[in-house]
Copies of this chain bind each other. A is one copy, B any other.
Amino acid sequence: MRATMIYGTRDIRVEDRPDPDVLLPGDAVVRVTAACVCGSDLWPYRGVREITEAKPIGHEFVGVVEAVGADVTAVKVRDFVVAPWAISCGECPPCRNGVQVACEHRAAWGATDEHGLPVDGGQSERVRVPMANGTLVPVPGVTEPDAALTKSLLTLSDVMGTGHHAALAAGVGPGRSVVVVGDGAVGLCGVLAAKRLGAERIIAMSRHEDRAAIARQFGATDVVAVRGKEAAETVRGLLGGVLADSVLECVGTHESMDQALRCTRPGGSLGFVGVPAGGSDLPIGTLFSKNISVGGGAASTRHYLPELLADVLSGAINPGLVFDSVMPLEDAAEAYKAMDERRATKVMLVPAAAAR
């Protein structure tokens, strides 16, 4: 099969790799119909996280189940499934608590499972899925989603669930004022999640008109283009002299966290889901004196999938709009480049077999 590999900084290659098999009774093999590049894939791409040896990459995909092991009951061959970005057993205490990202048997796409067996990356034609019962979510009544539905389903793998996680962690609800820092796919999904949870006032921070337009479509009532202190003062002005009740930090840098904290009112909540890329920290003195609560972290999108899937299938939300580009899997290197250069917000990659 064809699979995307990362060899080092800005070195992405699509190569031939062995087709995966069911290796354990809990495994499934999924034929990928669509995958995508995550903002967090850009950290190793940019060299922020060092790559010491070539490895398969990609952790967001949807597709069709081609084979299952003897213990797999949650999905069956020919099911259309969404794969969350984290592999989880579904049975250990963290999984039962809805915190699948802390699964005691957690494995990662593009690495190995707890038995040392290889797990393919998501930006591939096929993927071996360990612990398929805990991990995969079948899409009821759907076998061949069209492009628009595929895009929205694909967001449930990561970005829409992550935006929702940020909104929950920030205590978003009816009547709350919300600021979203970050206009990447997660930030945009955070806007959509805040709207879905009933927020009245949603201030998106963006200086890209295309992204701001999607933010508005998703429910942003205001868009702020300035940054840092000035951004906080603009928010204060928009909210009648107070800062925001709920702030979503969807980037992961020192600057974005600083801006998010500046926008949070005393006693407010900050949901942070930007993968800390080094440099971002939580200033304990500020949190202490301003009574700012902080939560979030890696999103257990598996936990949110059933609820968000229902809203996608009903048409209540259309998070797939965050995809502004579709490319063949073979062009993965260009997809990374386009996202790195911010020419694309989010790129969907389609394997040749699925495109036919």
- Chain A residues in the interface with B (C-beta under 8 A): 93-94, 97-99, 101-102, 169, 241-242, 265-267, 269, 272, 275-276, 280-282, 284-285, 287-298, 300
Docked Cα-Cα span, A242 to B99, in Å, equals 13
Q: B289 contacts A102, CB within 8 Å?
A: yes
Q: Is the CB of A94 within 8 A of B266?
A: yes
How many copies of this chain sit in the oligomeric assembly? 2
Q: Are A282 and B284 in contact (CB under 8 A)?
A: yes
Chain B residues whose CB sits within 8 angstroms of the CB of A272 once the complex forms: 284, 288
Q: Can you show 13 pairs from A to B with CB atoms below 8 A apart?
A: A97-B266, A97-B267, A99-B266, A99-B291, A275-B288, A276-B285, A281-B282, A282-B287, A288-B297, A291-B297, A292-B295, A293-B294, A294-B294
- Interface core residue of A93, A102, A288, A291 (most chain B CB under 10 Å): A291
B291 touches A300 (CB 8 A): yes
> Considering the complex of A and B, which 6 residue pairs feature the smallest CB-CB distances, nearest first?
A293-B295, A102-B266, A99-B267, A288-B297, A282-B282, A99-B266
Q: Residue A101 contacts which of B276, B285, B291, B296 (CB distance < 8 angstroms)?
A: B291
Contact of A102 among B275, B290, B294, B298 (CB under 8 A): B290
Contact B285 A292 (CB under 8 A): no
Contacts of A97 in B (CB 8 A): 265-267
- In chain B, what residue has the closest Cβ to A267? B99
Nearest opposing residue in chain B for A240, CB measure: B93
Question: Which residues from B are CB-within-8-Å of A93?
Answer: 241-242, 265
Q: Which of A93, A169, A267, A276 has the largest count of B CB atoms less than 10 A from its CB? A: A267
Report the minimal beta-carbon distance from A264 to chain B, rounded to whole angstroms.
11
Closest to A239 in B: B93
Given A93-B241, A276-B288, the answer on whether A282 and B267 have CB atoms closer than 8 Å is no
Q: Is A284 a contact partner of B289 (Cβ separation < 8 A)?
A: no
Report whether A284 and B295 are in contact in the complex, using a CB–CB cutoff of 8 Å.
no
Q: Would A289 and B282 count as touching, CB distance under 8 A?
A: no
Chain B nearest CB: distance from A21 CB in Å? Answer: 31
Bound: A172/B25 CA distance, A: 40
**Complex-state Cα separation, A143 to B281, whole angstroms:** 49
Asked if A265 and B94 make an inter-chain contact with CB atoms under 8 angstroms apart, the answer reads yes
- What is the chain B residue whose CB lies nearest that of A169? B293
Given A94-B265, A97-B267, A294 and B287 contact (CB-CB distance below 8 Å): yes
- Complex contacts, A102 vs chain B, CB 8 Å: 266-267, 289-291
List residues of chain B with CB within 8 A of the CB of A280. 284
Q: List 4 other contacts, CB 8 Å, given A94-B266, A102-B290, A267-B300.
A: A99-B267, A282-B284, A287-B295, A288-B298
Residues of chain B contacted by A300 (CB below 8 angstroms): 267, 291
Nearest CB in chain B: distance from A4 CB, A: 25
Residue of B nearest to A299 (CB): B291
Residues of chain B within 8 A of A293, CB atoms compared: 169, 293-296
What residues on B are CB-neighbors of A269 within 8 Å?
Answer: 295
Instruction: Give the complex CA separation of A101 and B292 in angstroms.
Output: 12
Question: Could you say which residues of chain B place their CB within 8 Å of the CB of A289?
Answer: 101-102, 297-298
How far does the alpha carbon of A295 sit from the alpha carbon of B294 in the complex, in Å?
6
Our pick among B276, B285, B292 for the contact of A284 (Cβ within 8 Å) is B276
Residues of B close to A276: CB separation below 8 A: 284-285, 288
How far, in whole Å, are A94 and B101 apart by their CA atoms in the complex? 35
